[in-house]
Amino acid sequence: MGLLDFFKSKKQTKQTEQLSTNSKVRFPGPFADASTITADERPFYQPAEYYTLESYAGTPMAEKVITLEDRKKTTFPSKNGLYIGEIMLLEYCNSGTYPKPANGYPGFWWFKYGIRDIGHALETLEKRGFIRWGLKTELLNSLKVEELKKIAAIFKIKITQSKQKLVADITNNVKESELPEEYFSKKYVLTELGKKELKENEYVVYMHKHKLKTNNNVPQDISFTVWDVNRLLADNDKTNWRTIVADFEEKSIGIRMADKVSKKVEISDNKIKSEILYTKEDISSYINSIIPEVKEAAKKKGDGLNEELEGLNYKKNGDDKKALYYLYIAIEKNFDAPALYKETAKILRKYKLYEEELKIIEIGLKSINSNSSPKELLERREKVSNIIKKNM
């Protein structure tokens, strides 16, 4: 459960009964219409009450969700008529995991891009020729290594630990019609038009992954969002988007990155950092030094929500020390939010402070209530425990 999940469950507005359009299903409260979502797709979404009409509802960060249809009135389409949210769907289809991804559809499709019915949006992209159903040979990369090994064993192909080699060997030695159906689900892949569209609009994916992008409700002179970039590029040559965006970065957030990143490697969580950099020893020493102050600050009124928000804000802006200070105060208050412990663990993992990460995860598993899903924390605990064993 992420930060958005927490706010949806923790800060719900007073619920009222309203009938969803074109549906006999009743959804309580001021939530997004889900009437077009088919029954087979529903398990891949959060409960209906998760999709409020505001992101971070009930907090100082509350912001009205702008639907895709409304975005079309204020943003510019690509040459082929796609809007930002639709271009991002192409990016996710490119990995061969949509529709019905194993971990469900992330909340950002609604809260960031205003798309409530992902399945329907994908169908429109298929009809317009941007995506098609993938062949089994095209979907091998989306399988787990263990699944690939089982397929290799069936056809007596030498089993290796390299996923890339397994995929290549299976592709070269097994016909499409011979691949066992049990390992594959229907997934979309990009057509040539879809690939061209994604290439021509690389800035969308770059901004989606940008760690320093701002919220929509900040003053215009410091706003740095994908919507700003979309308007900026409307009358410019997009082949030069990296230079244009880098100029905008420098003006808005004081750091120039777009024209320094390899064109073959897009921005990921560990690629963008602020100019504030620390070593493992720096962070370890810092944590030890702030413990007394953290314990004292935790005695003040409040359940830890404000401290968590403050910490996540510093984390977003790349200042890990300040982020840890506020996150640790929230942890000291045993704040009941899985995201608090997960995001703190991410910072600690970055600096290879594995024992400290395990300690924080254990505290989190004890602090969150029984209604919160501990799945991600349990998975992180298993991974970091294995790392610790390997390093012993």
Most confident range (mean pLDDT) of 91-95, 208-212, 374-378, 388-392 is: 91-95
CA 307-267-75 angle, to 5 degrees, is 85
> Which tens digits make up the pLDDT trace of 239-278?
899 999 999 998 888 888 888 754 443 433 333 333 345 7
Share of the chain above pLDDT 90, in %: 45
CA angle 9, 106, 349 (to 5 degrees): 90
User: Token match 């990921």: residue?
Assistant: 268
Instruction: Give me the pLDDT at residue 22, please.
Output: 34
Instruction: Provide the pLDDT for residue 290.
Output: 92
Question: How many Cβ atoms sit within 10 Å of the Cβ of residue 254?
Answer: 11
Residue 155 has pLDDT above 70, yes or no: yes
Mean pLDDT of the chain: 83
Residue 172 pLDDT > 70, yes or no? yes
Q: Reply yes or no on whether the pLDDT at 198 is more than 50.
A: yes
Query: Token pair 């506020």 is at which residue?
Result: 326
Rounded to two decimals, the pTM is 0.60
Q: What's the CA gap between 18 and 39, in Å, rounded?
A: 20
Residue 58 confidence (pLDDT): 72
Q: What is the pLDDT of residue 261?
A: 57
Nearest 5 degrees, angle CA 388-CA 390-CA 392? 70
**356, burial (CB in 10 Å: exposed 0-12, middle 13-18, buried 19+):** buried
Least confident of 142-156, 179-193, 267-281, 310-324: 267-281
